[in-house]
Amino acid sequence: MNRSASNTRLWIDGRPADVALLSALQANYGHLSTMQVRGGAVQGLGRHLARLQAANLELFGHVLPAARIRRELAAALNAAGIDDATLRVSVAAPDFAAVERGDAADVVLLVALSPPRAAPVAPQRLQSCRYVRPLAHLKHLATLPLLHARRAARAAGFDDALLVDPADHVTEGALWNLGFVDSEGGIVWPDGDALRGVTEGLLRAGLEAAGLAQRVSPVRLEACPTFRSAFACNSSGLWPLASVDGRAFANDPGVPAALQAILAAVPWDPLGP
């Protein structure tokens, strides 16, 4: 029987996170990746590693060795004695003065292990929010506007927030990507400044391999209800979307079976050796 995380615990290099080091990491400068771990394995692990390496080069001036990332993630799981968890790895520099000088800065990997998460079951009702993340291609630590947009949406009676750029083009969700299903059953990925998530990448690769119709195209906010349906995705999986600003999609909400099958077929890669 797999052992699951029951609360949130923080680890650095396989040891419980030190309070002094945590204090040194409070500057809002760094990057992260979040993944679901089952049986000590992760779907799309190579994509998570590539994301962390590319972001580290851009933000801190050097590429993190993939072997180090895997070792530290596995060490946290082993030290916690768990196999199933939501794993969030945040990368930051203890010496922030080096970052400010523009030097290549050494980093630490802060691993947070919390209970496993699953995608929502009920179709989600979205409220639009005009906001574009700075450095949108990076999964960085500046998440306050995203969490505030989600909070505001829920306070207004919606389930989540949908980000829209100044030209009224849909870009991404608060903490997820989305796709639309057109009248012919093809998948439309919104074009624009957004984080291209690991799960979206897995789905797009799977659709291409299967020869199924997909395209990247601008989607205006007012055009959302003209699509047959829409879905969201992130590391927790796939889930249906019901409406945007109270306007429902043309058909009953649901996730195309082809997408469910593609994601289910993605192998789980062990973190350890």
Which residue among 66, 87, 114 closes a domain? 114
Confidence of residue 180 (pLDDT cuts 50, 70, 90): very high
Report how far residue 68's alpha carbon sits from residue 268's, in angstroms, rounded to the nearest whole number: 19
Question: Burial level of 91, CB count in 10 A (0-12/13-18/19+)?
Answer: buried
Contact 33, 45 (CB under 8 A): no
∠ at Cα 56 (98, 218), nearest 5°?
A: 125
- 218 falls within a domain: yes
Q: From CA 1, how far away is CA 112, in angstroms rounded?
A: 22
Q: What is the DSSP string of 67-81?
A: HHHHHHHHHHHHHHT
How much is the pLDDT for 2?
66
Q: In this structure, is residue 154 part of a structural domain?
A: yes
1 part of a folded domain: no
**Model confidence at 21, in pLDDT bands (50, 70, 90)?**
confident
Same domain? 245 vs 130: yes
* Residue 113, pLDDT score: 96
The boundaries of the domain holding residue 166 are 124-265
Q: Is the dihedral angle over the CA atoms 266, 77, 174, 197 positive or is it negative?
A: negative
Structure-model confidence comparison of residues 15 and 260, the more confident one: 260
In a domain, 3, yes or no: no
What are the contacts of 218-223 at 24+ separation with CB within 8 A? 218/169, 218/190, 218/191, 218/192, 219/169, 219/170, 219/180, 219/188, 219/190, 219/191, 220/168, 220/169, 220/170, 221/128, 221/164, 221/168, 221/169, 221/170, 221/245, 222/168
The answer to whether residues 167 and 194 belong to one domain is yes
140 and 200, same domain (yes or no): yes
What is the pTM assigned to this prediction?
0.94
Say if 27 falls within a structural domain: yes
* Whether residues 131 and 230 fall in one domain: yes
Residue 170 pLDDT more than 60? yes
- Looking at the structure, do residues 42 and 139 belong to the same domain, yes or no? no
Q: Is 4 within the bounds of a domain?
A: no
- Of the residues 114, 144, 178, the one at which a domain ends: 114
pLDDT, tens digit, 9 for 90 and up, residues 56-71: 999 999 999 999 999 9
pLDDT of residue 19: 83
- 253 within 8 A of 229, measured Cβ to Cβ: yes
Lowest mean pLDDT among 8-22, 86-100, 208-222, 240-254: 8-22
Q: How many CB atoms lie within 10 A of CB 123?
A: 21
- At residue 26 the predicted structure's pLDDT band, cuts being 50, 70 and 90, is confident
When pLDDT is cut at 50, 70 and 90, the band that residue 77 belongs to is very high
Residues 141 and 89 in one domain: no
Q: What is the pLDDT of residues 98-143, one digit of tens each?
A: 999 999 999 999 999 999 999 999 999 999 999 999 999 999 999 9
pLDDT of residue 24: 73
- Verify that 24 and 87 share a domain, yes or no: yes
Which residues, listed in sequence order, are joined to residue 180 by a DSSP beta bridge?
A: 188, 230
pLDDT on residue 1: 55
Residue 139 has a pLDDT of 97
Is there a contact between 162 and 128 (Cβ–Cβ < 8 Å)? yes
Reported as a pLDDT band with limits 50, 70 and 90, residue 3 is confident
pLDDT band at 218 (very low <50, low <70, confident <90, very high): very high
CB 90 within 8 A of CB 17: no
The total number of structural domains in the chain stands at 2
Q: How far apart are CA 268 and CA 254, in angstroms?
A: 25
Pair of tokens at residue 231:
């879905």
CA gap 131, 166 in Å, rounded: 8
Residues 87 and 133 in one domain: no
Answer yes or no: is 178 within a domain.
yes
CATH of the domain at 255: 3.20.10.10
The CATH number given to whatever domain includes residue 82 is 3.30.470.10
- Do 106 and 230 lie in a common domain? no
**Integer Cα distance of 234 and 263 in angstroms:** 11
Q: How far is CA 77 from CA 14, 81, 115, 208, 215, in A?
A: 8, 6, 12, 34, 38
- Predicted local confidence at residue 9, as pLDDT: 87
Instruction: Single out the residue in 48, 82, 114 at which a domain terminates.
Output: 114
Co-location of 155 and 64 in the same domain: no
- Residue 119 within a domain: no
Residue 34: name the closest of 232, 236, 179 by CA.
Answer: 236
Dump pLDDT digits (tens) for 246-270. Answer: 999 999 999 999 999 999 999 999 9
Residue 156 and residue 188 in one domain:
yes
Residues 109 and 129 in one domain: no
**Would you say 63 and 173 are in contact if contact means Cβ atoms under 8 Å apart?**
no
